[in-house]
Amino acid sequence: MESWYLVAVVAFGIAALITAVMWLKIHPFVALLTASIGVGLAAGMSPETVIESMTSGMGNTLGFVAVVVGLGSIFGMMLEQSGGAEKLADRLVKMFGPQQ
């Protein structure tokens, strides 16, 4: 594969990542995973190789904790935007807070 093509694929992947996070308001963790898969496939890697490369790279860098933290932050944002976090906090304060 030509080097100019790979540079163009990476540049497009970075632009897509920035667009997804800034304008489409997609969670950065999901946008990064999606952009990584897209760049790997566009670069000519097989789907199995892309997934293996991503998991080994994440595993070597951050371990399984990165996935848990990433998904946890998505869940937390969903709770916050839906109002569930406030209801959960109110319920916990009623159960364990100071008696009035």
Closest to 39 measured CA to CA, from 29, 28, 50:
50
Lowest mean pLDDT among 15-19, 61-65, 74-78, 92-96: 61-65
Q: How far apart are CA 8 and CA 12, in angstroms?
A: 6
Q: Six-digit token pair at 57?
A: 């790279």
Q: Six-digit token pair at 83?
A: 């109002």
User: Model confidence over 9-30: pLDDT tens digits?
Assistant: 999 999 999 999 999 999 999 9
User: Model confidence over 16-71: pLDDT tens digits?
Assistant: 999 999 999 999 999 999 999 999 999 999 999 999 998 888 777 776 777 788 88
More confident residue, 22 or 85: 22
Give me Rg for the CA atoms of the chain: 19
Q: How far apart are CA 19 and CA 46, in angstroms?
A: 25
